[in-house]
Chains A and B, each alone.
Chain A
């Protein structure tokens, strides 16, 4: 938990600088692979659909055959290769001082703080792809209507469990 911000001004668009400047910890880099597989599972069927559409319809009406197919696969591959690691590098979290802080996004950056005493209950979840890489996500529920759930993905499973225990202990001591 080193809170010292970077002494020299670095490129503000560098992801490491973003988290370090705000004193946040990055999530596990393996989460990029999880995101990549999830994105691929979403986009590849779409690209296949576009190819089929292209082959069946555009060729039928003698339009520019191949354009849609090429475009769909290009977009899909660029998205799958480059976006997940960028997105992962913009997630950051910090746990301590009786509060959980989760930050995400760059174009639209949201930095959420939930005090432990406001936590209603905690989930640690793990999807099939996450299980593959030994990762879990932590979901914190509050009673607020806005932000009723705050999700922090890309945590090693043992760390997620440890964070859950930390928060749970705080809830108990508050009500004791």
Chain B
């Protein structure tokens, strides 16, 4: 009883809000992919000869889905209180969730294509709780309401911070909204970035799709099956022409591949990063980007744990780099870090790094190398490939010679690559660099290290080596922060130094 009374306090009744009615429109759009589930049922009706039932069945399906969406909309309400957000949802099982403003790390605003047509946005609250299902979101509220909500929450938090520092600096009663523009992607830059983003991934996707739908296609021709091409060429007498002009044909094929690669690279870059803006707000770095789906993400500066500087062997010659920040909050489902500079010169990246108090190692930094033993894994792979190839040759399979060749290449690559595992300690932070194909520099402040593993095994120990692995909040478990195969004494000293650092607040 007391709970119910507390929940339904009279002055709260008027402040409860519903989602934007356009939620229903979003639900209709979402029905498109969902109705694919309905296809087998339609097919079954068709096969059994009950053609008359198909229209009523589809109608009933649509009606039930819409009714369900409408009930969900009706039973979803939220309240923005003085220092908390309350969300009630659920048709049959009611869920009541309270999120204090203090616990909201990050408010993200996302707009899909349909949402932009209606002027609504999805607001996501990142609370830092583990797991996606723990983060609440408001699917559709008006864009200005979403921005107002974010301003409210942010003001609450900065007000708190101002109160905390008020004792030291009384002049800053309310921090001035000094939103500075740190980085933008103009169309020219997008084009350059897209050209460097050369990718044949689109081709692979189409190929995979053709494989998948091979049995379903009405015509018996797979554009990714060379035999089909040879058949068609022979039937038109093209094979004679191709043999006569094979250089022309080869150059044409290469050119079209290049064109597809560049075009898909530019398209991906434009769709993802159109109108990219990175601004510095009082407490966060804020990023807006996207052509069809616009996202608006704020990365609280104090939550940044590490910076990752990525480049490629080719774009590096032109001085282009990419900057990602690893933060407690994750960036959507796919990526575990935040891309804050997709494509920029170091001179543009340095100001961004300054904002989060991380410095890039200068030219005078004393880089130390990992031991060559890190190439061992690649060498073992090379030996395996060569052995497998030779076994195949001994069974009379001439293609087996590919094995030793691949083995040689892998071995040479890993031996060469082993020289590029480098690290340096900059006093406040560690810089770890690795890779030749895609050089990647991780800038890891000592203070964001949560735990340190010192690993050695039966190969490293006789050589007096050890591997350091750092536990850092956020980021994926795959891309772990580690310094492989350095002298054990150095590793122990570095571990002691890092553990002495204070927590990053």
Contacts and interface: CB of A to CB of B under 8 A. Distances in A.
B473 interface: yes
B59 interface: no
B450 interface: yes
Contacts of B458: 107-108
A142 B474 CA distance: 11
Given A109-B457, A113-B495, A115-B499, A145 B474 contact: yes
A82 interface: no
Nearest to B328: A143
B116 interface: no
Interface in B423-478: 449-458, 461, 469-477
A148 interface: yes
Q: Which of A112, A114, A143, A150 has the most CB of B within 10 A?
A: A143
Interface string A107-126: 11111111101100000000
Contacts of A150: 451
A145 B477 contact: yes
B251 interface: no
A142 B470 CA distance: 12
Contacts of B456: 109
B481 interface: yes
Contacts of A148: 471
Contacts of A143: 328, 450, 473
Contacts of A60: none
Nearest to A142: B450
Contacts of B472: 144-146
A147 interface: yes
A99 interface: yes
A99 B476 CA distance: 25
A104 B340 CA distance: 39
Given A109-B461, A113-B495, A115-B499, A144 B451 contact: yes
B480 A146 contact: yes
Nearest to A99: B499
B71 to A, nearest CB: 39
B244 interface: no
Contacts of B477: 145-146
Contact of A113 (B451, B461, B473, B503): B451
Interface residues of B, number: 26
B474 A147 contact: no
A145 B476 contact: yes
Given A113-B499, A142-B471, A147 B450 contact: yes
Contacts of A99: 499
Nearest to B467: A110
Nearest to B495: A113
A109 B328 CA distance: 29
B379 to A, nearest CB: 19
A146 B476 CA distance: 8
A107 B473 CA distance: 28
Contacts of A110: 453-455
B399 to A, nearest CB: 35
A118 B503 contact: yes
A117 B471 contact: no
Interface string A78-106: 00000000000000000000010000000
Nearest to A108: B457
A118 B451 contact: yes
Contacts of A111: 453-455
Contact of B453 (A112, A115, A117, A145): A112
A108 B474 contact: no
B474 A112 contact: no
A108 B459 CA distance: 9
B457 A147 contact: no
Contact of A112 (B451, B461, B473): B451
A142 B451 contact: yes
A99 B454 CA distance: 15
A145 B471 contact: yes
Contact of A147 (B453, B461, B499, B503): B453
B455 A114 contact: no
A112 B477 CA distance: 17
A147 B495 CA distance: 16
B130 to A, nearest CB: 9
A150 B495 CA distance: 17
A83 B272 CA distance: 54
A145 B472 CA distance: 6
A114 B499 CA distance: 9
Nearest to A117: B503
B457 A145 contact: no
Interface in B471-493: 471-477, 480-481
A114 B452 CA distance: 7
Nearest to B476: A145
A112 B474 CA distance: 19
A145 B329 CA distance: 12
A161 B146 CA distance: 48
A122 B452 CA distance: 18
A144 B457 contact: no
A113 B455 CA distance: 11
Interface string A127-165: 000000000000000111111101000000000000000
A144 B470 CA distance: 8
Contacts of A113: 451-452, 454, 495, 499
Interface of A: 99, 107-115, 117-118, 142-148, 150
21 contacts: A99-B499, A109-B455, A109-B457, A109-B461, A110-B454, A110-B455, A111-B453, A111-B454, A112-B452, A113-B452, A113-B495, A115-B451, A118-B450, A142-B450, A142-B471, A144-B449, A145-B474, A145-B480, A146-B472, A146-B480, A146-B481
Given A107-B458, A109-B456, A148-B471, 5 more contacts: A108-B457, A114-B450, A118-B451, A144-B450, A147-B450
